Amino acid sequence: QLAGLAVIAFGLWLRFGGPMAEFATDKKSPELFFMGLYVLVGAGAIMSAVGFFGCCGAARESQCLIGTFFACLLVIFAGEVTAGVFAFIGKKVAIQEAQKIYEDAYEDYMKNPVGKVNSTIYRFHVALQCCGKGNVEQAGLPCPENIQLPKASNCLVEIQNVIDTHLHLVGIVGIAIASITIFGMIFSMVLCCTIRNLREMI
C-alpha cells in the first residue's frame, strides 16, 4: 500500500509539479510522456487497493483472497514492464513532441511578442531555465533573471535533458516497484501454501 501511494505521489509530482507541467498548460502536450505518467499513477492506485485486499487475506487466512492478490500482482508486474519498455522506446518521440511545442510557442512569440503568448514563452523559460533556441536567437526574448547565457540559451537541448532525466527517474521507480511486486508474489504464494498445509494438518 505504501509503495502504491509513493508511486501515485511521484507520478503526480512529475505531471503537475515538475518542469514538464508547463507543457501540459498548452493545447498540445507530449502525449507519450504523459501517457506513461498516467499508467504509473494508475499502477500505484491499483497497488494500493491490491495491498489492502492482500492484508485482509493474510489476516483472515483466506487462500482465495491471497490467490487473488497474487494474480493482481502478476498483472501489475506485467503492466509495469510494458510501460517501462514503452517509455524507453518512445523517448525519442516524446522529446520531439516537447521540442515542437516549444518551437510553436517560440514562433508565435516572434509573430506577436505581447500578451498571452509572451507569458506562455516566459513560463517555458522559467521552468526550463533557458532562453531561446540558440546563442543568437535569444535576443529580445523574455528571459528569466540570473540564468547563465549562452550556456542555457538553447531550450531544445534543455527539453531533451529534462525528459531524459525524468524518464530515468520513472525507470528507476519502475524497477524498484517491480522488485517489490516480485517479493510480494513470492511471499503470497509461501503464505498461501503455509495456510493450506496447516489446514490439512488440522
Per residue in 17-61, pLDDT (tens digit) is 766 666 655 555 556 666 667 777 777 788 788 887 778 877 777
What is the model's pLDDT at position 165?
80
Whether the CB-CB separation of 24 and 15 falls below 8 Å is answered with: yes
Is the pLDDT at 128 greater than 60, yes or no?
A: yes
Under 8 Å CB-to-CB from 135, ≥6 apart: which residues? 150, 153, 154
What is the model's pLDDT at position 160?
86
What is the model's pLDDT at position 27?
53
Backbone torsions φ then ψ of 154, nearest 5 degrees:
-100, 100
Is the pLDDT at 136 greater than 60, yes or no?
A: no
What is the model's pLDDT at position 40?
73
Please provide the distance, in angstroms rounded to a whole number, between the alpha carbons at the two ends of the chain.
32
Confidence of residue 12 (pLDDT cuts 50, 70, 90): confident
- What percent of the chain is helix, strand and coil (3-state, nearest 5)? 80, 0, 20
CA quadruple 169, 173, 176, 182: dihedral, nearest 10 = -140
Give domain limits for the chain.
Answer: 91-201
Tell whether pTM > 0.75.
no
Whether the CB-CB separation of 142 and 125 falls below 8 Å is answered with: yes
> Peptide bond preceding 150: is omega within 30 degrees of 0, i.e. cis?
yes
Q: What is the mean pLDDT of the chain?
A: 75
The position carrying cell 516549444 is 102
**How many Cβ atoms from other residues are within 10 Å of residue 165's Cβ?**
12
Question: pLDDT tens digits, residue range 71-124?
Answer: 888 887 877 777 667 667 777 877 888 888 888 888 888 887 776 666 778 878
High-pLDDT (> 90) share of the chain, %: 0
Nine-digit cell string for 147: 540564468
Whether the CB-CB separation of 105 and 26 falls below 8 Å is answered with: yes
What is the model's pLDDT at position 96?
83
Question: pLDDT tens digits, residue range 142-161?
Answer: 777 777 666 566 888 888 88
Is the pLDDT at 187 greater than 80, yes or no?
A: yes
Is the pLDDT at 137 greater than 60, yes or no?
A: no
CA distances from residue 69 to 6, 19, 135, 143 in whole angstroms, order as listed: 19, 36, 56, 52
- The Cα 187–Cα 58 span in angstroms is 11
